[in-house]
Amino acid sequence: MIVSSVCAVIVNWNGWRDTVLCLESLLALDDAPRSVVVCDNASSDGSVAEMTEWARRQLQGWSQHESGFVSPDPARGIRSIAFLPLDANFGYAGGLNAGIEWARQRWSPEAFWLLNNDVYAEPGALTALTAAVSAVPRAGICGSVLLEWEDPKQVLAVAGLFRRWLGVGWRTNDVPAGPHDVALELDFPVGASMFVRTDYLDQVGLMDDSYFLYFEEMDWVERGRRHGFIPIVALKSRLRHREGASTGSHGGARGKSLLSERYGVINRLRITRKFWPWFLPLVWASLAVVVLDRVLHREKDRALLVLRLMASPSLWLR
């Protein structure tokens, strides 16, 4: 697979400053994607106007069209950057889906590079992704290694592991490598950077945007696994990640925003019911430990929120 057949999709929500840094990192790549679509989830901070103004200043010589900017040199680097304003906040998966569908209607990319807006791509990141997918038969979603934002010598995450009987996933930076600098022993790649070919989209479908936040990548991988696809991570594809910038969370249970707490609980139950329903009673009961933890840390609002969600099956049985 050649890099020039790739379209990058970035989701922005009230974070245009991070998105601009992400775009600058893509523009600096020798292996830049052919096109980029930035989907804005109905931001209230003037993100679309700010990003458009940045593009006017930064992309000297590019022609501006209704949907974005086109390079005067189509033989090199990124050929077009489009800004796609959405009329509501559709969450991470919904934003990515909108960008994928919009791009497929206008271009014919062979693959998509799906990115959080709070990442910064290191040199060679995309080439490593395409090489990994080409080297592994039935490769499904391919992830990247995420580095600490402030200290990129430190690995933040390589992949995700998932305990089905608890409905709990977490990131690990200790995944054994396979051939071709590819990690194969994993449950899911981290959603901040995912590379996926169009044949995966055709057979498995788009992400399930009803999750809104969290567990979307695990759902997508599990659906692909049941079609015979293997999730992988390209160990030489590296991006710095400003974790939690888009959700208001700042690491660990104590740093979670209430939005993160809400969707963490709902989707923990939803994904269990969808794929491993025999574990649902155990997962539901395990949330009592979460409530106890919040009580012990004198987080009354969080404890009550988790209890309300546990007692609201209409939210996670649909």
Contact assessment for residue 137 and residue 41, using Cβ atoms and an 8 Å cutoff: no
The predicted structure's pLDDT at residue 249: 47
pTM: 0.91
How many CB atoms are located within 10 Å of the residue 289 CB? 10
d(CA 39, CA 51): 11
* Residue 298 backbone zone (phi > 0: left; psi -120 to 50: alpha; other: beta): left
The predicted structure's pLDDT at residue 255: 58
Please work out, in degrees rounded to the nearest 5, the angle formed at the alpha carbon of residue 205 by the alpha carbons of 164 and 228: 60
| pLDDT confidence bin for 245, thresholds 50/70/90 | low
- Range among 209-213, 273-277, 294-298 with highest mean pLDDT value: 273-277
**Residue 34 pLDDT > 90:** yes
What are the tokens at 168? 């709990």
Tell me the average pLDDT of the chain.
92
What are the tokens at 214? 């969290």
Q: pLDDT of 196-223, one tens digit each?
A: 999 999 999 999 999 888 899 999 999 9
DSSP 195-213: EEEHHHHHHH-S--GGG-S
Q: Which residues of 237-259 are buried (b: 16+ CB within 10 A; e: fewer)?
A: bbbbbbbbbbbebeeeeeebeee
| Cα–Cα nearest to 133, from 111, 155, 103, 159 | 111
CA distances in angstroms from 225 to 159, 218, 272, listed in the order given:
16, 10, 16
Mean pLDDT for the stretch of residues 90-96: 95
DSSP 181: G
